[in-house]
Structure formats: structure tokens, C-alpha cells
Amino acid sequence: MSAVEVATSKNYIGGRWVEARSGGVSEVRNPATGDLLGLVAKSGAEDVDAAVTAAAGAYERWRRTPAPRRAEMLFRVAELLAQRKEDLARLMTQEMGKVLAETRGDVQEAIDMSYFIAGEGRRLHGYTAPSEMPHKAAYCVRAPLGVVGVITPWNFPMAIPSWKIVPALVCGNTVVFKPASYTPLVGLRFVEIFEEAGVPAGVVNIVTGPGEAAGDALVEHPQVRLISFTGSTETGLRLAEKCARLGKRISLEMGGKNAAIVLPDADLGLVTDALIWSSFGTTGQRCTACSRIIVHRDARADLTDRLVARAERLRLGDGLRPETEVGPVVSSSQLERVHEYVKIGTREGARLLTGGRQISDGAFARGHFYAPTIFDQVAPEMRIAQEEIFGPATDLIEADSFEQAVTILNDTRFGLSASIFTRDINAAMSAIEEIDTGIVYVNHGTIGAEVHLPFGGTKFTGNGHREGGLQVLDVFSEWKSVYVDFSGRLQRAQIDRE
């Protein structure tokens, strides 16, 4: 693509597409080929302030729009996403790198979330309860918060924004969206669809730019009531400190160090299929990726051979090519991070079974490719078994018993996703009870979620909120308790008891 053909995208603020106040732009490049895909606004605090002001101005009208009417617009969003699924998926593969089958799934998740949450526009359930006093009604309703700031990562550039923006809107909030700097083009297309679906000006706004400028300004803006953030634990905790000082809400979805337990009675064919997918799908760049395989000593040798053989057959390349199974990592800095962890693992005494190198020859020369990597002889306390790598690397850790395997699995600061492979129903049910994560799979890998169940984790993976399911509505709404006394006299609860 020549420089003449490259488009420059603008921010969407108050129903208008506008340049950054500074006039600055940033490049967006394909991580597989290095090709320039486009230029986007390089925004700062002034642009964020304009977007928040627009969202605040649109809030009163939007919150008074009946929830079923808001939901009808979100239903149209889902329909437009479905119509443009293939185009959006192809753009996402070019921008982020994961293979086309996965980007289609990313768009489908946004479609599913939009349909699911649109259905809640005719419910948004509160609840009624009996009053302790006669001739008195008691019930609860949901109320919106105001302006919501949405900050999302690059690995799921449409699914994760949908988890936040769509429920925020159905609850009656307005939104300022800052997508990840690596994947702004998909975010901009997403917002175009809200505009086309009839969402009023100012209700959804998007500002592109670096986190240290646009992101921090969004977090610190006094008119933003809630920040919904998905990203690294380190960044999330820093944002949580800021929000605590400013007295505003924050919903955090952060890191993971996910593990699968493999017991001797497991179907190793299934295990191999599932763990290759869990470890190397999305090039390992998922918060739910399986980066620890805790295998019983009686199954270790056979499983190790199967995993290594399968990993070495995986085909790397441009995600738009139909034969590609593993795309690039998103950037040169992420490539360096992955390789640095490989060096750390080697220094710690782990044995590198396969991978552990950048692929940069021939067709791979302009991209960020890393060979699928498996370590063996990994001790649970090693850094590669404790810290999130976020790349195509996984560890084999041996356990002598089910109990020891669960102990190893739980012994990290993260608690997002886990799985167990066994034919023993007692072991499976015990694992569900004992594993300390927000998601547990039985006879499946650690990745994959459905929009109608809550998504999130324990410990340093999050701060207790959930995305997906009906539970996401609690993030984007306040509970309002209502008491209607029709007795005609003063009744003092807990005091005047008949």
C-alpha cells in the first residue's frame, strides 16, 4: 500500500469526525508484513476533555430514553456487525495479526454480546421484596452512572470493547472509548457502526492515542464516573490507585497465569488438541492462554512427546493465508518480551524442548514471528511459571498427585482460568470446588468464553467485577432502593413494630 493510498482516521466526538487538537497522527502497521495500514489521530488531554464534555452533554437525554428504545439501537448494531463480519475480521487480522478464523470469532463475540445485552433492554431487572411494615412497598431499580471511560487491549479489539460499551449503553450511560494503540482501526470501525445504527451524537465517542496521554487523561477527568479497563496487572493497579484518590469506580480485568491439570486417566488425544489450541491460539496472546501444563508423572512422557510433535508442525505466517495456524506477535517490543522470558527460563534451569527463537527469514523477515515454545522440568516457583509472558510459550510442570497439582495451580497471584482433564467425576468435581479461579473447564482447554456467563478472575486478575452475563449490568449501574408508604401515617422501620 503506497503512502498516497493510506487513509487518516479521525476521532469521533459529539457526532463529528475531528482531527486531534495537536494535528498529530500515529502509524498503524501490519505485524505480519510491516505494511502501513493507516494513520490515526494522536490525541491528548484536550481531545479527551472534548469527548467527555460531549458525553456529559448527551447523558441526560440518553438516560431518559427508555431502555427498550436504547436496546433497539443495539440490536441494529448486532445486525450491522453480522453483515460486515468478514470485512471486519480481515481488517482485524491485518491490524492485530491473529488468523482469520480467530478474528471472525472475535467479531462474532461482539455480535453475540450485542444481541444478548439488547435483550436486557426489556428487562434490566430490579427486584421487589416485602416490607417489614404494613401498607408499604419496597423495591429496587437500576440507575445509570453517567460518563463511562472504556480502555481496551489490542488482543481482542472488538470483543472486549463490546463487553463494555454495549452494557454501558443499555444501562443508560454515555461512553468515551480509548482503544489500544496497536489496534485503533477496528475500534474506529466499531464506533462507525454505532453511528450508523442511530445511536445519538455524543453517546459514544472515540479518542485514539497513547495510554500515557489519552488514557491517563480519561482516568483523571472529573466528569468520568467509571473506568472499565482491560490490560496488564501493573497498569490496572496503577489506574486503581488513581481512581481511589479521585473517588471514582473502576472495573479491572487484568493478567492471568492459567493452568491445565492432566491426570493419568485423561484422553491424551483430546488433551493435545485442547492444549495446543489453548497455548498457541492467538499466538499465546490471550489473558486465558494456557501457560502452565501441570501433568501427573504417569502421563508426562506420553503427553510431552505429543505436544512437542504437534507444536513443531504448527504453520506460522500471515493470518490472512488459509494455511496459517499461528500468526505474529503484535509488535517488536512484545517479541523482545517473549524472548527475554525464554532466556530467563533457561537461566532458571528449565529445559527448552522446542521453539525459543524468533523466525525472521524469508517471508517472515518483515513481521514479528516467534516459534511456539515449550519448556520442561519447570519448577512451580520459577519466574516463567509465575509471571505472565503473553506469547507462544508454555511450561510443563510435573505433579505426583491430584492434590499436589491443585496446590501448584493455585500458587500464583493470578486466578483467571483453569482446566482439568480426567474421566473421574469425583476428581473433576473436587477440582471445581478447590481451584481458585473465576473460570474452570473440565476436559477442555483454558480459553473460550460465552457471553451469557460472567467472565473474570480472582486475586490479581481483577477487582471483583465481571464482564459478560447479567452480572456485567452491576458494573454499569447503581442500585436505587425505593420505599412507598401508603399507610397514611408515620411508620419508623425497626422502631414501630406491631
**Active centre residues (catalytic):** 253, 287
Contact between 459 and 415 under an 8 Å Cβ cutoff? The reply is yes
Under DSSP, the state recorded for 326 is: B
Q: How far apart are CA 175 and CA 52, in angstroms?
A: 8
Quick one: which of 241, 185, 251, 239 has its CA closest to 211? Answer: 239
Contact between 434 and 266 under an 8 Å Cβ cutoff? The reply is no
Quick one: which of 70, 65, 77, 56 has its CA closest to 174? Answer: 56
Measured between alpha carbons, how far is residue 425 from residues 211, 260, 292, 429, 434 in Å? 46, 16, 23, 6, 14
**Grid cell listed for 161:** 470493547
Number of C-beta neighbours around residue 108 at 10 A: 17
Q: How far apart are CA 40 and CA 154, in angstroms?
A: 15
Strands 290-296 and 258-262, sheet pairing: parallel
Find how far residue 477's CA is from the centre of its chain.
20
469 dihedral zone (left: phi>0; alpha: psi -120 to 50; beta): left
